[in-house]
Every structure is written in C-alpha cells, then in structure tokens.
Amino acid sequence: MSHEIKIIYNPGLSNIYICVFKNDNGTIKVFNVANPSESDWVIWDNNNIGNYSILATEIGQGFYTVSFPSEITDPGRYDVIVFSGDQSSLANDDIVGATNVVWNGSEEIFITDANGRVDVGKVLGEVPEDKTDIAEEVSSILSTDDNFLNSIAEKIITSSDPSSNLIPIFVDTTGRVEISGTKNTLDDLNDIDGSSVTATTISDKTGYSLSSSGLDSISAIEPSGRATTFREMIVQTWMRFFNRVEKDGSEISVYNDADSGKVTTQGYGTVGETTTVEKSSDA
C-alpha cells in the first residue's frame, strides 16, 4: 500500500512533511525515520527534526500524499502531524494539519467497507468462525486498547445491506443502538462480558398502567359455546344483553352476533313463587 496520508494545503510547495507519533505506555514518541533499525521510536528533540520528517509529494492543486512508513510493523493507531517548513527547527516550521492511521503492520485498516458496513474481520483481525464470540472478543480488545473505541466512533456509519461477515449498526429515532443482520435474537447475541443471555418471563410487574387503547387490543371474537376463559366470559356477558335472546316456556337461548344460530341454552322453571334458571350449556 502507499499514499495512505492525504493532505490538502497551499499548492506549489516543496516543504510539506509529516512526522509519525505514538503513545508508548504514556510517553509520546516520534518515529525515527533516519535510523529506524537502531531506535525506531524516540522522544522528540527539536534539534533532530530532520530525523523524524517524511517529505510529502504534491499530486496537484495543493493535494499532497505521503506513504506510511513500511518499517513500522506493529499494529496500532498512529498520530500523524503535518508540517510546513525547512525541517531544520520546529521554531521555523508551522503545523498545518493532523490525522491518524490505523495500521495492521503492513497496510492501513479501514473499519468500514465501501458500502459503509462495519467489517468485523478488520476490527478483530479475523472473522470469528462462530459469530456469537464477537462480543467476547470485542470486550477483550476494549480492555487492552484505549484507542479502539475512538477508532470505532470515527469510522462507524449505518448500513442496510448486511452480509455474512459484516454486522451493520443502526441508531433508531430515539438514539438507541440496534444490532441487526444475521444476529438478531437473544440466542444469537452475547452480553459484552461473553456470558450467555437468557430470556426470562417477568411475573411480578408493578407500577404499570394500561394505555387508553389497551383493551381494544383484546380479541372480541364470540365463543362458540359456554365461555371457558375470562375473555370469553366478558364477551358472553355482552352477548347475553345485546344479542338476540329467546325465552319460551322452559328455556332461554342466546344467539351469536350474526343471528345465525344459538350459542348457549339455559333451562328454567317456576315452583310456587320461586323461579330457577339452570346453568347454561352449549347449544
């Protein structure tokens, strides 16, 4: 690979150059281009700026490029500072830009592909054979690489065309992150610590209230005979008062809403001054 670093600046200059930096366990060091075999990374010295600089080439119209040093073989995220000057002293040179490169040891890593999808293989170094291990591997990276989350935040964008090795990440209208694609069930996904997610039924809900249209979601289909569930009992009470009901000398009959047939019947009779209505049964 080449021309990884792109610079837009005033055209026609021959003194645009870069220096590559890294955070070495809390110490900022610069790549020693002049003698990388002896000491690749050194603490910045204004008097040795020429040892750190890599000259840029103008492609045209103020567009400059620089190839990332191939001598850097350690994967990581590297900060690149762009200067304009004669490379003799930082006091005489100007900082004109800054960027960073995510490097896998031989080429730049682009965490998203050409369609804007997050390439898990590029993030983790390889595509896990079992994608249910993704969360566990990402968790491991987060615990050791402070730059990883920043890299994701800078690169990640939404997608709507997932493939087997690419997991798109969406943000819904309320700002919540949704993971979709091939992994979209509790059985497919893991917690960030790698432990399995188990679906459970909550049976002790408190503090909830029914919405104004909640009852409208309950089916009002009439039972075909004597009610056996609470829902059917409510509907059958309605039927008793608002559907067709016939009462002859010994029986009460309740019809269905279509008035096409009886649903239940109840016998009744009077002895002395007492009238008894029997338990209903299927018609």
Distance CA 74, CA 86 (A): 30
Q: DSSP string spanning 84-150?
A: ES-SS-GGG-EEEEEEEEEE-SSSB--SB-TTS-BBHHHHHSS--SSGGGHHHHHHHHHTT-HHHHH
Residue 3, φ and ψ in degrees, nearest 5: 55, 35
Is residue 7 within 8 Å of residue 56, measured between CB atoms? Answer: yes
pLDDT at 9: 92
**Burial letters 54-91, b for 16+ CB under 10 A, else e:** bebebeeeeebebebbeebeeeebbbbbbbbbebeebe
**C-alpha distances in Å from residue 18, one per residue of 7, 22, 49, 65, 87:** 10, 13, 10, 10, 10
| pLDDT grade for 133, boundaries at 50, 70 and 90 | low
Distance CA 21, CA 41 (A): 8
Whole-number mean pLDDT of the chain?
Answer: 77
Amino acid at 103: W
Q: Which run of H or of E encompasses 177?
A: strand 177-179
Place of tokens 């080449």: 2
pLDDT at 213: 87
pLDDT at 233: 94
pLDDT in tens, 1-58: 688 999 999 999 999 999 999 998 889 999 999 888 777 899 988 888 889 999 999 9
pLDDT at 207: 76
pLDDT at 235: 93
pLDDT at 176: 52
- Cα 210 to chain centroid, rounded: 31
Whole-model pTM: value is 0.43
279's tokens: 């338990």
| pLDDT grade for 152, boundaries at 50, 70 and 90 | very low
Distance CA 47, CA 50 (A): 8
Distance CA 72, CA 120 (A): 24
Predicted confidence (pLDDT) at residue 186 exceeds the cutoff of 70: no
200's tokens: 């459970």
pLDDT in tens, 203-228: 777 777 888 888 888 899 999 999 99
Secondary structure (3-state) at 182? coil
